[in-house]
Chain A
Amino acid sequence: MTDRIGIIGDPDSILAFKAIGVETFGVSTGVEAKAYIKEMTQKKFKVIFITERIAMEIEEFLQKYKSMTYPAIIPIPSGEATGFGMNGIRRDMEKAIGADILFRKD
């Protein structure tokens, strides 16, 4: 049984993913992205990549997927990294450990 991977983002940045066989869903606003995520969850997409710019808009909406095993919704940079993904790691770390063990500057 194989599962599907999808990517959500602005159509220009995700065009390249189409070539390697990832299903692409072009959106320009957070509202559209939410609708796609809901639909994709039902259609058994297990991994959903989302470009950082869109992910930022719907951060709160993405929170509730955090504690589920699937779908794994992962923010990825489109072009230059904005640091949104790294911030996610930092937040996880603070939540779990309560201290910064990775990004601390000595």
Chain B
Amino acid sequence: MARLNVNPTRMEMKRLKARLTTAIRGHKLLKDKSDEMIRQFSVLIRKNKDLRETVEKGLSDTLSAFTLARALTSSQVLEEALSMPSKSVEITCGSKNIMSVAVPDIQIVESASGDIFPYSFSTITGEADSSITELQKVLKKLIELAEIEKACNMLAVEIEKNKRRVNALEYVMIPQLNETIKYIRMKLEENDRAATTRIMKVKDMIAARELLEKN
């Protein structure tokens, strides 16, 4: 691992040591965050899968029933009947916080009018009625699915990002700092030794000269 390009001074070493402490603490925190996110994610993704299975089944049943209904009515009549829905689905969207990821929180607002059929029963076959009632039920699940699936999407992205941060700290930042600190320490010790030997040498030289002058 390449060490950082810094001057080997005591000041620099002090600074780097502080950075190392921060990096280690950050690494621990991020790792804990990652663990917790994965735990939450695995709960959500299971729910997501179950919900999607139910919805996909319900939807394909309903839509095939609707196709049957369409076959029994002429397309113009049906389109005309459905073109003005008597009520609209309304939702309120907030957001909730899962490990500081803002995931959607969707609530269906029940509209007041009880009758969901926007047409008169005389023009449309009964198959259409039942498939529309069914679809109404599926829609609730569908919206729930939207909420959970989106949360899973976002958590997955966030977990991946977090993993990168943890790895960058663990495998790049921390080794680099350690190596640099070690390098500075060695360099300083080396300088120390060099200074000591130099002083010893000088002392010897002075002593030798004094001896020479005495004689």
Contacts and interface: CB of A to CB of B under 8 A. Distances in A.
Interface of A: 1-5, 13, 15-23, 46-47, 49, 66-67, 69-70, 72, 74, 76-81, 85-86, 88-89, 92-93, 95-97, 101-102
Interface stretch (B153-161, B191-199, B204-212): B153-161
Contacts of A46: 91, 93, 104, 106
B104 A69 contact: yes
Nearest to B37: A96
B157 A66 contact: yes
Contact of A22 (B67, B128, B139, B159): B139
B142 A79 contact: no
Interface in B139-193: 139, 142-143, 145-147, 149-150, 152-160
Interface of B: 37-38, 41-42, 45-46, 48-49, 52, 55-57, 59-60, 62-64, 66-67, 70, 78-79, 82-83, 85-93, 95, 102-104, 106, 109, 111, 116-118, 128, 131-132, 135-136, 139, 142-143, 145-147, 149-150, 152-160
The binding surface of chain A is classed by DSSP as mixed
Contacts of B48: 89
Contact of B70 (A1, A15, A17, A22): A15
Nearest to B96: A69
Contacts of A2: 90-92, 109
B210 to A, nearest CB: 75
B60 A70 contact: no
B90 A95 contact: no
B89 A69 contact: no
Given A72-B149, A96-B159, A102-B49, A19 B135 contact: yes
